[in-house]
Structure 1
Amino acid sequence: MSAESWKITLPCTREEGEALAFATDPFPGMEEPPVLNTLEPDEDRPENWLVEAFTEGKPTPEVIAAVQALVPSAARLKPVVEKVEEQDWVTLSQSGLEPIRAGRFYVHTSAHGAVIPSDATVFRIDAGRAFGTGHHYTTTGCLMMLDRLKRQGARYRMIADVGTGTGLLAFAAMALWPRAHAVATDIDPVSIEVTAENAQANGVNEDRLALAVAEGVDHPLYRELAPFDLVIANILAQPLIELAPSIAATIAQGGTLILAGLLNTQAEAVTAAYRREGLRPADTIRNGDWSILMLRKRRRMR
C-alpha cells in the first residue's frame, strides 16, 4: 500500500477550506474515496488555503475531476498529482493536523500520539470519513465551553450530541460527567460508524452511550430519554434555526444548550430562534469567525 500512495493538491479559498472541513461525505457513491485534508500553509495569507486528497493507488481522471469539483476557485488550474513514496497514505493525510489543546482536553491523531500531556483529558480522533477531529474552530470552541461549564460546577446526567460527527463532543462531555448517559446522533450513517469506532479506540464506556442515525432529534431515542439537561448541537446556522422548536422540546427546565457551527454574523439570528422557544443566552465564546453559544432553558413558574 505504501508504494502506491498518491496525493492531489489544489489551492482553495478559506471559505472553501472551511466548507470542506464540515463535509461528511464529499464523494457520495464513490467506493474508495480520497481522504481530504485542508490546511492554511501561510499564516500571513489567511485567505489562501490548500486542499490535499490522498488516494491508495494512482488516481483516475475521474477521481481527480471529483476533487477539483470541490474547489470552484481552482476550476481552471491544473492539480498537482504526485506519488508519495514509502509512507502510509492515511498517516500522511493527518500529518498537517497538529494536536490541539482546548481547556483540559488534548486531541490528537495517530500521527501525533508520541507525547501526551500528563494533565490532560486525551482523545485520539483520526481524520477521515467524518467531521469533528477537534481542529475546526467550532469543535474546539465547544470543548472550551464544556470545560468552562465543568469549572463553574455544572452537573449533568443526560446528554445529547446532535450532529455528532466523530463523537468527540459526546466523549468529552462523558469524561467530564462520568455518571452521565449520552445519546449521539447524526444524519450521516458514516458518522455513526466512525463514532462507534472512535468510542472503542478511546475506551469510552459504551454502556453509557447510545448511537443512532437521525435527522435532527427525530428518533425514538430522543422521545424515550428526554428531557436532557445538556444538549450539544454543532451543525450549521440554518439547520439550527429550523430545528429550534424540536431541539428546545428535548431540553429539561433549567437545562443547558450549546450551539455551534455558526459564524459570528449569524449568532443573533440563531439566538433569536431559541429565545422564541424559551431559552435565554448565558455565555458566548468567539473562536475566530465562529461563535459558540450557551443558552439555558427557563424554568416554568408554578
Structure 2
Amino acid sequence: MSAGWKLSAFAPKRVVQAALLAHDEIEEWDYDLVISGSEIAEDRPNDWVLEGWYPRRPRAAQKQAFASLFEGKVPSITIEKLPDEDWLTLSQQGTPPIRAGRFYVHTPDYPPADNAINFAIPASQAFGTGQHETTAGCLEMLDAMKARGIVARRIADIGTGTGLLGFAALALWPYAEATASDIDPVCAGVVAENAALNGVTPGPERGAMTMVIADGMDHPLLKLRGPYDLLIANILSGPLVELAPDFGRSVSPGGSLVLAGLLAGEQEQAVRRAYRRARFRPVARLQRGDWAILWFRRRHSYGR
C-alpha cells in the first residue's frame, strides 16, 4: 500500500479539544483527511497534539483545512511522509480504546475486552467514535440509567454520527425500537457499516435500529415512531437550545432525555434554562473534562 502523510500541531489541551469540536461542526469536510487528538504523554496531561492523516501529499487545501480548525493563532504545523504501510491503521494507533461504564469502544485493530460491552468503531469516520469526552460521557450516563432501573421501549439517537450511542442503547435495552438520525448524509453509510461490524440489526423491528437523515426532529419517521421514552442528543449547545420545544413534544411524559455537546458553565446554564421551559426536570449530571452530560426527565402534564 502506498505511503500516507501526517500533519501535526502541538498545543495545549483546550486548544486541541476546541479544534476537534470545530472539526465535528464542519459538514463539507474532506473525509480522506482523518483527524485525531490526544495527550502527548500521561505525565503531561495538558500538552496535546492534533494530527491529520492523509493518503496523499497534502496540498494547500488540506493544509488550510487543518489550520482552519484553530481559532486565533495557529500552532506550528509539521508535515511528514509515513512509511509504506497502511496509513489508516497507523492513524488508528493513536486512537486507544476507551472504557465508559460497562462499555469498551475500540478501533477494529484492537481486540475486544473481557467482561465488557464491546463496540468496534473505525476512527474518524464521523463524530461519535467514543474518543470525544461527550460521547464517552453519554455511554457512562446510559449505563448509570440502566443500573437505576430505567426502562426504554422507544429510543431515538439524534445526531448519531457513527451510530455508537444508538447501538449502546440497544445493547442495554435489547427489546426497544431504536431510531437514529443525523443531518450529514455521509453518516447513513457509516452507520450501516458500523451496524454490520457490530452485529446490530437494521430495520424497524424491536431490537433493531432505523437510520434517517434529518435536521433535528424534522422527518416523518421520527415523528411517527415517537413519542420516545429515551432520546439522546450529543450535538452542540446552540442546536440543543433550539430543539428544546421539539424534544419536549417528542419525549413521552416521564421519559428520559440525555444531552451532551455542551461545555460546563454558560453553555450548560443556557441548555438547562431551555429545557426547564420545555417542562423537563434535571435528574443527574456528570462531567468529563470541560464537558457536561445532562439527564432530564419529561414532566407529566399534571406535575409541577
Using the TM superposition, give the Cα deviation of residue 152 of structure 1 relative to its aligned residue in structure 2, in angstroms: 1.2
| Equivalent in the alignment of 1:177 | 173
Are residues 228 and 275 of structure 1, via their aligned partners in 2, closer, same or farther at CA, if it must alter by over 3 Å?
A: same
Aligned length: 297
The whole-number CA distance in structure 2 between the counterparts of 1:240 and 1:212 is: 19
Structure 1 range deviating more: 203-212 or 39-48: 39-48
| Corresponding residue number in structure 1 for 2:37 | 38
1:68 has 2:88 as partner: no
Q: Give distance in 2, aligned partners of 1:61 and 1:27.
A: 19
The code of the aligned residue for 2:34 comes to V
Distance 1:136 1:61 in 2: 28
CA contact (8 A) 1:39 1:49 kept: yes
Question: For residues 111 and 20 of structure 1, what CA distance do their matches in structure 2 show?
Answer: 26
Aligned to 2:49: 50
Over 3 Å counting, the alpha-carbon distance change for 1:66 and 1:157 in structure 2 is: same
Q: What amino acid is aligned across from residue 157 of structure 1 in structure 2? A: R
SS at match of 1:239: helix
Matches within 5 A, 1:287-302: 287-301=288-302
| Equivalent residue, structure 2, for 1:88 | 86
The residue that corresponds to 1:149 in the other structure is 145
CA contact (8 A) 2:39 2:48 kept: yes
* 1:257 counterpart SS class: strand
**Residues 111-164 of structure 1, C-alpha deviation per residue, up to 9 Å, x if partnerless?**
322xx2221110001112311111111111111111011111111110000111
Kindly indicate whether the alpha-carbon contact (under 8 Å) linking 1:68 and 1:74 is maintained by their aligned counterparts in 2: no
SS where residue 119 of structure 1 aligns? coil
Q: TM-score, normalised by structure 2?
A: 0.91
Identity %: 45
Q: CA deviation at 1:55?
A: 1.2
Partner of 2:107: 109
Question: Residue in 1 aligned with 2:20?
Answer: 21
Q: Would you say the 8 A contact 1:24–1:188 is kept in 2?
A: no
Alignment of 1:132-147 (within 5 A): 132-147=128-143
The residue matched to 2:109 in structure 1 has which SS? helix
Whether 1:11 and 2:10 are equivalent positions in the alignment is yes
Show structure 2 runs of 5+ residues with no match: none
**Match of residue 244 from structure 1:** 244
* Change in CA separation of 1:76 and 1:128 when aligned onto 2, cut-off 3 Å: closer
Specify every segment of 5 or more residues in structure 1 that has no aligned partner in the other structure, as ranges: none
Q: TM-score when scaled to structure 1?
A: 0.92
1:164 aligns with 2:163: no
Q: Distance in 2 between matches of 1:44 and 1:131?
A: 27
